[in-house]
Structure 1
Amino acid sequence: MCLILVAWQAHPDFPLVIAANRDEFFARPAAAAAWWKEQPEIFAGRDLEAGGTWLGLSRSGRFAGLTNFRDPSRQRAGTPSRGDLVASFLRSTETTAAALARLQQEGRRYNGFNLMLSDGDSLGVHESVSGVSHLLEPGLYALSNDLLDTPWPKAVAGKSRLSRALTALPDDTPLRELLRDDRPAPDESLPRTGVSLAWERMLSSAFIRAPGYGTRCSTVIRRSRHGWTHVTESTWDEVGQETDRVTETFQIARP
């Protein structure tokens, strides 16, 4: 997952709104979002190579979403799958604060990542590279492949468009449209993350098309103040055509 935009307690009727793109190699097998048969409280896509997930929800109101930290020089072989972090939080009963404290110790075992998570009452993020955890105040947030709210072009543009999209709710069309923005940033605005300039250009847009790599799915989530949660997820092929769409609506059942 390479872009997660979140509006947390920033709308009077929809306290949680999420727009997210997952970018990955097309050769890596994955399953679309669904209720997991062996863990029916979890609604998420699934990485069929390592078994974890990049973003998901639970019936009790939990949410977690993961982005990798982009720095090829930091990659280590033999580390556990970062997708397990999302699944383990979704199946747990720990608070957001407790999970952040645990990640302070456990996060260093993994290659670089950012994990945004919520127990339904609070929202937080752990940045494994900086070693910093935050409980987040109400507001708008953007998480790409660097630290929270790092002003990469896609993050800045995404937050701006998210703010405007909130005014259209419950219509989520503007949210889905912002995730399809495939315009690259100008060279002078590009970050330098250790990949080639050509790849920095291709990776700079919200929606990515690159050789063998790109935006695999786009997910929009809105949760009403009454606990109703609506999810729409589109799956994309290598040329950016939609191949599947999943929609799901459920009400939060707090323990």
Structure 2
Amino acid sequence: MCLVAFDFRPETAVPLRLVANRDEFFQRATAPLEAWQDAPDIVGGRDLEAGGSWLAVHRGGRVAAVTNVRDPALKVSADAPSRGHLVREALECPDLAGWLARLAASDGWRYAGFNLLAGDGHRLWHLHRSRERLLLSEVTPGIHGLSNASLDTPWPKLIAARQGLAMALRRRWPEDAMSALSDSCPVDDHHLPDTGVGLELERRLSPPFIVGEQYGTRATTWLEWNDDAGVIVLEEHRYGPGGAALGKTRERIALTRMHLRDSSRHDRRGPSA
């Protein structure tokens, strides 16, 4: 996952809407959005090489997503665990807040650079691991974006994704958000970030949707968590080399009674202005 825009509104009927692009090498074996055979309460796409995911939900009422941090100077051990495993652990651990705190205390340094979003519909956390920092914070209500730096770092693609989501929430959800993430026009050089990968690669990676023959955007996914209905809806659109459309899948995940019982303890408040 390399670009995420989301609207977090805890204690409302729809606490989370999210749209995201996953950028990856096309040769990397991947399973489409579905319930996992070895963990049927998890629904999401799956990296078949390492076994993890970039975005998935749990029927018990959890969501998690991960992006990498782009920094060629960040050195990592050859036996570092896959960052995709963080998504599954976030979904299955019995105490999400405690598990995140342990990662932030020391365990997170074992991984290559990453951003992890994880939440339960009432609270949402962001854990950032870069060369200098391992920092855990709670996400404030509102519209946010995440790419390959940190939360709300104003890269042009992130700004475009946030703006597209904001428009979608006012007009057409999820169509306007999906449209914003389908933009494949490179950014003007004077607006490019300098992440140490060279100008040519910065250009290729600058739009929300990356078109390539070996590497590019492989999936665009939107998610809506409807707490009143007790469901999370996910829809994944898949792409191949050159941006060719390869199909889409929609899953409607009914949350378990345990989650719904827990949710009923929270007072409802309208979304902030």
TM range (shorter): over 0.9
- Partner in structure 2 of residue 26 of structure 1: 26
Hey, which bits of structure 1, 4+ residues long, moved more than 4 A? 10-13
Query: SS where residue 156 of structure 1 aligns?
Result: helix
Query: SS where residue 149 of structure 1 aligns?
Result: coil
- Partner in structure 2 of residue 51 of structure 1: 51
Larger Rg: 2
Aligned-pair identity (%): 40
1:213 counterpart (212, 215, 232)? 215
- Partner in structure 1 of residue 161 of structure 2: 158
CA–CA separation in structure 2 for the residues paired with 1:254 and 1:198: 51
Does structure 2 retain, via aligned residues, the 8 Å contact 1:34–1:45?
A: yes
Query: SS where residue 51 of structure 2 aligns?
Result: coil
Structure 1: 5+ residue stretches without partners: none
CA–CA separation in structure 1 for the residues paired with 2:82 and 2:43: 19
The 5-angstrom pairing of residues 1-255 of structure 1 reads 1-9=1-9, 13-76=13-76, 77-95=78-96, 97-104=97-104, 105-129=106-130, 130-168=133-171, 171-226=173-228, 227-255=230-258
CA–CA separation in structure 1 for the residues paired with 2:10 and 2:175: 18
Letter in 2 for 1:221: L
Q: 1:158 to 1:99 in 2, by over 3 A?
A: same
Report how many residues are paired.
253
Q: 1:6 to 1:99 in 2, by over 3 A?
A: farther
CA–CA separation in structure 2 for the residues paired with 1:60 and 1:10: 17
Once the two structures are TM-superposed, the CA of residue 93 in structure 1 deviates from its matched residue by: 2.4
CA–CA separation in structure 2 for the residues paired with 1:220 and 1:209: 20
CA–CA separation in structure 1 for the residues paired with 2:227 and 2:135: 30
Once the two structures are TM-superposed, the CA of residue 197 in structure 1 deviates from its matched residue by: 0.8
Does structure 2 retain, via aligned residues, the 8 Å contact 1:10–1:140?
A: no
Once the two structures are TM-superposed, the CA of residue 78 in structure 1 deviates from its matched residue by: 2.2
- Partner in structure 1 of residue 268 of structure 2: none
Query: SS where residue 210 of structure 1 aligns?
Result: coil
Report the RMSD for the aligned CA atoms in angstroms.
Answer: 1.6
TM-score by length of 1: 0.94
Query: SS where residue 74 of structure 1 aligns?
Result: coil
CA–CA separation in structure 1 for the residues paired with 2:161 and 2:85: 27
Query: SS where residue 164 of structure 1 aligns?
Result: helix
Worse-matched range after superposition: 238-247 or 75-84: 75-84
